[in-house]
Amino acid sequence: MIGKKNIAFGFLYLVLTASLGPYMIVTQFPAVAQAGAIRQAKLSTLQQEASNGFVDNELNTMTPKQIAEANTGAILALSASLNAEAPIDAIKGGPHAHGNLESLLNIAAGLVLCFLAIPVWFKQTISWVFIAGALMHSGMLYMSVALKWHWAEVWASSPFAAVGPLLVLAGFALIGIATIIGFRGELVRD
């Protein structure tokens, strides 16, 4: 059965891309937590000073410079917190989400291929197009964003990066045509 390799690839690739969740927490969360704690402390201080009418503990009115310093500290802490979250957002929105989706698409394509009565070469083409599309799209995102491999970063920022998504779309078109041509309600053995 030709679809078997897509099903196996899909499940194994899903394990890889789903493991990015714990990877993000282990590698990125400490920096995010620290930046968030600093942000919270600075914003709390600023909020407390504002609610007191910018009067310090000795009931002296704060100078404009002191108010500006408190405000600047809070803004910088907020910016640092957002910057600390950027790597997690890049992983979540890129290889993690796309990899999970493309894993499931390979599983679905593999199952559909099992029910198609079409020439073997056409099934093989569809099968390999889905696998190559996943590897050249989310696989490259995984290597460039999560692993920070330089050659993959160069690939991901080049015009060739469009090959992966185009292969996934081509796989959709091919499997749609194949379904019209040869879908059978029972399992087809190759």
Residues 6+ apart with CB under 8 A from 132: 164, 167
How far apart are the C-alpha atoms of 10 and 20, rounded to whole Å? 16
Burial class (CB in 10 A: 0-12, 13-18, 19+), 131: buried
* pLDDT above 80 (res 26): no
pLDDT at 165: 94
Q: What is the pLDDT of residues 115-134, one digit of tens each?
A: 999 999 999 999 999 999 99
- Average pLDDT along the chain: 84
pLDDT class of 178 with cuts at 50, 70, 90: very high
Number of helices and strands in the chain (H, E): 8, 0
